[in-house]
Structure 1
């Protein structure tokens, strides 16, 4: 069955983690993707074997030497019939190749050109290779991830690359959607720094009124989000973010007489006293150690408290809901053989596309290139390019967001960043996440807010009018809840058959676990990421880059994919984006062979310093240095700096040998790095063209938000709150030419636009006053 992107053609000139993942998403949903490799193949094929097996599945592979006229001519032949070009070249490389945006756009004016760099387009770090660990060290992830020692901690989840991949897809799909209207190609730019920020924005933020919004620390409010060791030495993840869940958990633990709970369930807005904090931090963990995990799971699920088992890698493949969601596919990889892989996360009603072909061999489709594309070149080129205005990219798009917490609402926030008009629909109790200012602001920036009691018959007309107004309707309620308040798919489709409908449930719309609660970072622990970021032999830990932003990013991809499909089909479409599916995509680089062998898992060392001797942190004479040298050419540049032989040493001649004898190589490198200071090493390594960075050991939040470069390119916005004080937060994380950036607006106050929107829907001032008086609106 064809996917929603069938008929679109993508040319992929990227390498590494972010670019191939981005184009892999497009291939998974039906686009025809041509993977362009240099002669002999991508230099990271061996190092990233499992990643490439997944993210390049279903693509067509060709070899082109873009340093030659013949190679560039071959690329032009591909681009003549393409909709999108994706690159990951560092700034300056495209100009040397004659493949910069200006020259490509002149030849192919309808082509969307997406560039994913390590550090962005400001150029200050243009010469530093943008590997995952290097960027995370620069941004400050190394100071944020919890570990078993003092920072820096190597992050075991490559969420900067995951975020950059999603952002590139979001920007590209939005540009293609706009192109359907004005025929104009555009330049889409994002980076691994932006990718990291798309996750860190949930936790980060900077404001002049710091005292008004202190950081939320464990035990400071009535929220328990933690992994607990049980009597059988297994771990259980627990989250009390749902209305009333804190009280239900405390009662189940037998502590109800010592911890007060809110009668209306809004515990997250109430701080704990010092004694209550001591109970949460000390006594609650002790109670969990009294019974095995299976017993606690049964008890907490019966009490309607979000709880999951922390699984080890591979166990998730056999879970009943995972199989019910068809989240495991079997693919024959030409290098690794038959593999079970994580399936595409997003489901489109009637348009699901199941990848069956593995990643192509080097040059597998070289001979097919001219005949496949020649027939369409002339027609596509002749279409030309219509003029375009410079309004925000998604100006005119109307979104009704009935979601709550973070994962669902973050999808529409990403659309608001690009100019969509998003109305956040809340109950009269309000979004529970409002109790934690920082993540709420991140999830709902740029929106308008209306608060309605949809059980009041006098507001059914408002609800239905909003449905008819919207181009997109989305929510992440548990199954059945939307139907009870008139926001179910059938009702929405009946009133507005052109609308795209995104449902983002925790586990799925149906199946054995469909009615269970879902909260981040529990789902990360469920799919095995807790053990991935903890390092070998260690107990599980919560990842910094958790599934809430990931689910939101995937949801935005789903919406835009459906909208792009709608430009050709003129019909609405049902889209489902379960948090379980999206979280499994975070660990998609982990695959399983038929004999049960897991590949790509548990690569982080016990001390959480890295995933191999040439991708890790090393102690220096006065601190730490992060060094990444994965390809042979990168290793050759490293060798003279350290006065060490690696590639010509039989112990370390190949990537597999460098992993097998990794501790010996790491010991040799450790001796070298201990001889000089971090800054001295950084200067010498950069001069040799080696990827290196001094990892942050303290939070970089404030400095990052106050960086004038980040503010100048729009990555960070500085705006004023209702009291006139400055707030700085993540803003435009993907930048697109030919479109004015939408002005950044702080998340709305509770019910801030209720009167305005009801007036737009035809309600009189007297009726609005009456509704407020009886508590039906806020």
Structure 2
């Protein structure tokens, strides 16, 4: 769907590469500009997760892109990049605010030679303001945004979510902004600057609880650690005899039937939030006596919203997950067989596949230069002089 759209990517970590991968999955030609030593994610991976020396962190966010290694401090390298950008539809960068301007690749400068350029900046906090120079990293933003303060029971410290969901949501918002700007350019012929940042992404994830707060509701974390600060009981995770079961948005009258406990019938629906700790305690006592399978079958029989709490073994084997073709497998020339998450959306009943494997550093430098019209002898000179790396 994005065939013919050329994107130059100055991105690293997760937010930026994931945003450009979304667009590359859709057919855009994404050229990832890396320093001669390689992007950060080539040499880092969460729990030191490397497959035959290749970073899983790099493999999960850089498919369907081309790699071009350029020395940003070399004037010949900068000249190559200006030529590349002048031919591009989109530039995406995830440096700290001001870095691209100091390098000579700020939006105002580039729009003079490419007025149709969509220029997307992905940052931690935004391009201005008192926090613009702070390090923008997922768990820091979860804390600053209030997200961690609403997670976990009241008896333990605030708890970050166990995934980089802010990074990923920031990536999706960045891709959304780019697509909107491209649509606008198709009507006006003019490019624009798009900005997405992790702080806004974290707050956007909290659209519901923050709206409650802004309108006078002050939720508190549950003492039992089961319910959300913002929902009446029952809502949350309960231990069974051999695992855990989540119950969501059902009446205490329905609970009285499925649990065969008359006590629930006497609760006024208007008191289900105020009485959530007592309700939680009674549910917990009853569910602990039988297995997750028993309760799953019984709750299904009574059509009560529920789900078992799966670990990743369960998730990978889940029949709906498998049906949705959630995972993408490929053979990497260095890492060998690799599995990652596929593009999350279907188009015409199909998910986009993989056209290009996550590239080696500078794998496409010569190819991109040739497409820009550089003759072979000039490409050789640039490689020999260190302006670019192949």
Class of the TM-score when normalised by the shorter of the 2 chains: 0.7 to 0.9
- Are 1:43 and 2:40 matched, yes or no? yes
How far apart, in 2, do the equivalents of 1:28 and 1:324 lie?
20
Aligned-partner SS, 1:331: strand
Structure 2: runs of 5 or more not aligned: 46-54, 375-390
Aligned-partner SS, 1:238: strand
Deviations 1:112-147 (A, max 9, x none): 000011111224233322222333333344433326
Cα separation, partners in 2 of 1:229 and 1:152, compared to 1, 3 Å: closer
Whether the 8 Å contact between 1:53 and 1:333 is mirrored in structure 2 is: no
Aligned-partner SS, 1:96: helix
TM-score, length-normalised on structure 1?
0.43
Whether the 8 Å contact between 1:21 and 1:55 is mirrored in structure 2 is: yes
2:272 matched to which residue of 1? 272
How far apart, in 2, do the equivalents of 1:153 and 1:207 lie?
19
- The size of the alignment, in residue pairs, is 359
Whether the 8 Å contact between 2:153 and 2:221 is mirrored in structure 1 is: no
1:229 matched to which residue of 2? 239
How far apart, in 2, do the equivalents of 1:147 and 1:44 lie?
34
How far apart, in 2, do the equivalents of 1:308 and 1:273 lie?
21
How far apart, in 2, do the equivalents of 1:216 and 1:300 lie?
28
Cα separation, partners in 2 of 1:317 and 1:7, compared to 1, 3 Å: farther
1:382-401 matched pairs, under 5 angstroms: none
Cα separation, partners in 2 of 1:207 and 1:43, compared to 1, 3 Å: closer
Deviations 1:426-469 (A, max 9, x none): xxxxxxxxxxxxxxxxxxxxxxxxxxxxxxxxxxxxxxxxxxxx
Aligned-partner SS, 2:4: coil
Deviations 1:615-650 (A, max 9, x none): xxxxxxxxxxxxxxxxxxxxxxxxxxxxxxxxxxxx
1:446 matched to which residue of 2? none
1:169 matched to which residue of 2? 175
The Cα shift of 1:202 comes to 2.4
Structure 1: runs of 5 or more not aligned: 376-778
How far apart, in 2, do the equivalents of 1:79 and 1:59 lie?
16
2:280 matched to which residue of 1? 281
How far apart, in 2, do the equivalents of 1:154 and 1:273 lie?
24
- Supply the RMSD in Å over aligned alpha carbons: 2.7
How far apart, in 2, do the equivalents of 1:209 and 1:223 lie?
21
How far apart, in 1, do the equivalents of 2:185 and 2:201 lie?
25
Whether the 8 Å contact between 1:159 and 1:195 is mirrored in structure 2 is: no
Cα separation, partners in 2 of 1:164 and 1:130, compared to 1, 3 Å: same
1:308 matched to which residue of 2? 307
- Are 1:19 and 2:16 matched, yes or no? yes
Whether the 8 Å contact between 2:238 and 2:246 is mirrored in structure 1 is: yes
How far apart, in 2, do the equivalents of 1:206 and 1:258 lie?
27
Whether the 8 Å contact between 2:252 and 2:265 is mirrored in structure 1 is: no
Whether the 8 Å contact between 1:159 and 1:199 is mirrored in structure 2 is: no
2:370 matched to which residue of 1? 371
2:31 matched to which residue of 1? 34
Deviations 1:100-121 (A, max 9, x none): 1100111111110000111112
1:568-717 matched pairs, under 5 angstroms: none
- Are 1:338 and 2:337 matched, yes or no? yes
How far apart, in 1, do the equivalents of 2:158 and 2:293 lie?
35
TM-score, length-normalised on structure 2?
0.83
Whether the 8 Å contact between 1:11 and 1:86 is mirrored in structure 2 is: yes
Deviations 1:313-335 (A, max 9, x none): 24312211112111122122344
Whether the 8 Å contact between 2:234 and 2:276 is mirrored in structure 1 is: no
How far apart, in 2, do the equivalents of 1:344 and 1:127 lie?
32
Whether the 8 Å contact between 1:334 and 1:361 is mirrored in structure 2 is: no
- Are 1:240 and 2:249 matched, yes or no? yes
